[in-house]
Amino acid sequence: MTEPDGRGGPGTAAGRAGRPGPGVGAAVTAPPEVPAEVPAEVPAEVRAEVRETHSAVLFFVGDRAYKAKKPLDLVFLDYTTVAARRAACEREVALNRRFAPDVYLGLGEFRGPDGREPEPVVVMRRMPAGRRLSRLVREGAPVDDVLRDVARLLAARHADAPRGPDVDAEGTRDALSRRWEASFEQVRDLAGGGPPPEGVPEIERLVRRYLAGRGSLFDARIAQRRIVDGHGDLLAEDVFCLDDGPRVLDCLEFDDRLRYVDGLDDAAFLAMDLEQLDAFDAAAFFLARYGEYSGDPAPPSLWHHYVAYRAFVRAKVSLIQAEQGMPGAQTAVRRLVAATLRHLRTSAVGLTLVGGLPGSGKSTLSGALADRLGVTLLSSDRLRKELAGIPVEQSAAAGYGEGLYTPERTAETYAVLLERAAALLRAGESVVLDATWSDPVQREAAERVAESAGADLVALRCHVPRDVAAARLRTRPPGASDAGPEVAAAMAANEQPWEGAVAVDTSVPLESAVARALAAVRPHGTGQAPVFRRPYMPPD
């Protein structure tokens, strides 16, 4: 429990004052930091202080803090009896000892002379406000080491966290979809029949599209035992950076289901909170370290999706506060909706077809584009030789439509290419497909794959003057492609129009061609949200 610092932000003690629970907009005004009868020169560690949240009263005396539950019924919690408050205090101590065992000292009681049943209280060590993570971030202090320790602690707690069917049930795609839809409905209700905040309709569309094609991803998360009884409310205000390691306080204790989350979702809560403190690099650093310590193979799209989810939940709470006239709440709504959109746009799974005749530069552009986006690249030339059982570097040159390039072998190559792409898309991985894409039948098959996987399809057609293509074909070293000038000429003679493809001239410098491709693939820009990259994990 922290020493009050008068910030009044959404954190422990002073910060918790006025912080609503899920779906609750109650705001309680915190009393002054230093009572008038206490001289300012009295050391902070011996001051007696009182703070309130929507569901508790906190007393700070010396190096201890005492937390008593209010006798309230707030729908999502009912503390109207002493027995219920005692059970809640016991639960709070037990759950929070997982993250800060030496802070949550145990259960105490307040007794009076009237013989009434004693009031249960949570007894805690008093934490120094100056060591809050949120305060360090605001002050510009270096926090990488702290975030590394918090990521390690969170990963360790997730590794030994309780699991089971009830926990797994909250990690399904449908369970996440229900939570999103409930938030959408609450936001629409708050709009009172008028339009929701700007950006919300696009958020709804992006969420539904992402979830629609990702059933196998969430099934895999459950099979990998990634759904845990976690913290559920991980805020920078509740992390204290002590010399002997971090202490993480105030996990969510009043509803187990809200704590049953994907471990990555739990970590994303803190990443979202760091971003709201304008610490974007710190947020990306923290998630990368969590991924490293937890050995989590999640695709970056899922990282972004969970950060977006956490931002939208907070936007909903800010909207409630705006309805109550709380200052700054409308600004917070706009900021949080914008953050949700940034991450959802970045999380959108995409299938990009990069095609063109031999010598058009499609393979060079495909590789550069996949590298810039951090997505998977699949090549028809490489796959064709893999299916034939020959090394990629071995020549299989043949006449047009002959050898490895008969219509039957080409159809097989494209079928397997799209099959592999479909599996990756369903797993949340965006894909760039490098092939000629000269056959409309194959392009239509790609469209069907993208639609069934809830992926955005973008087609890029590379082109250069014929003399440039011929010069490239004459001088390029042996590799995956076997096409020479004669085959290229035959393919050009049979080429059919590619409606809807974005033309990319690759005779210009590579960076210019990549910029043109990126504008088509990511029309909102590639700097929409921090880049989350999985740490390198060497094979077993």
Q: Which residues of 271-280 are buried (b: 16+ CB within 10 A; e: fewer)?
A: bbbbbbbebe
Q: SS3 of 275, please?
A: helix
Reported as a pLDDT band with limits 50, 70 and 90, residue 384 is very high
What pTM value is reported for the model? 0.85
Which among 301, 128, 130 is positioned nearest to 218, based on CA atoms?
A: 301
- The DSSP 8-state label assigned to residue 460 in this structure reads E
Mean pLDDT calculated for residue range 313-330: 89
Question: Which residues 6+ apart lie within 8 Å of 241 measured at CB?
Answer: 131, 132, 133, 136, 143, 146
Which among 224, 292, 221 is positioned nearest to 535, based on CA atoms?
A: 292
pLDDT in tens, 59-92: 999 899 999 999 988 777 899 999 999 999 999 9
Q: Is 526 exposed, middle or buried (0-12, 13-18, 19+ CB in 10 A)?
A: middle
Mean pLDDT calculated for residue range 83-111: 96
What residues does each domain of the chain span?
1-128, 132-347, 350-521
pLDDT at position 55: 85
- Give the percent of the chain with pLDDT over 70: 88
Within this chain, domains 132-347 and 350-521 share the same CATH topology: no
Q: Find out whether 289 and 151 touch, Cβ atoms under 8 Å.
A: yes
Query: Alpha-carbon distance 35 to 49, whole Å?
Result: 8
How far the first Cα of the chain sits from its last, in Å, is: 43
10 Å Cβ neighbour count for 325? Answer: 9
Helix ranges, 324-455 (H): 329-347, 362-373, 380-388, 407-426, 440-452
pLDDT at position 158: 97
Query: Alpha-carbon distance 483 to 354, whole Å?
Result: 17
Query: Alpha-carbon distance 387 to 78, whole Å?
Result: 64
Q: Is 140 exposed, middle or buried (0-12, 13-18, 19+ CB in 10 A)?
A: exposed
Query: Alpha-carbon distance 514 to 526, whole Å?
Result: 12
Least confident of 49-58, 294-303, 334-343, 522-531: 522-531
Residue 512 phi, psi (nearest 5):
-70, -40
- Asked whether residue 37 carries a pLDDT value surpassing 50, the answer given is no
Reported as a pLDDT band with limits 50, 70 and 90, residue 43 is low
Query: Taking every pair of C-alpha atoms in the chain, what is the biggest distance, in angstroms?
Result: 102
Q: SS3 of 127, please?
A: strand
Q: Which CATH architecture has domain 132-347?
A: Alpha-Beta Complex (3.90)
Q: Find out whether 360 and 468 touch, Cβ atoms under 8 Å.
A: no
Query: Alpha-carbon distance 195 to 44, whole Å?
Result: 48
The type of residue at 112 is G
Q: Is 193 left (phi over 0), alpha (psi -120 to 50) or beta?
A: left
Reported as a pLDDT band with limits 50, 70 and 90, residue 165 is very high
Question: Which residues 6+ apart lie within 8 Å of 257 measured at CB?
Answer: 170
- Asked whether residue 12 carries a pLDDT value surpassing 60, the answer given is no
Cα dihedral value 428, 434, 437, 442, nearest 10 = -40
Q: Which residue has the higher pLDDT, 490 or 123?
A: 123
Which among 309, 314, 331, 313 is positioned nearest to 322, based on CA atoms?
A: 331
Beta bridge partners of 241: 246
Q: Is 111 exposed, middle or buried (0-12, 13-18, 19+ CB in 10 A)?
A: exposed
pLDDT at position 399: 78
pLDDT in tens, 212-267: 999 999 999 999 999 999 999 999 999 999 999 999 999 998 889 999 999 999 99
Query: Alpha-carbon distance 345 to 220, whole Å?
Result: 23
Q: Which CATH architecture has domain 350-521?
A: 3-Layer(aba) Sandwich (3.40)
Query: Alpha-carbon distance 491 to 496, whole Å?
Result: 10
- The DSSP 8-state label assigned to residue 393 in this structure reads T
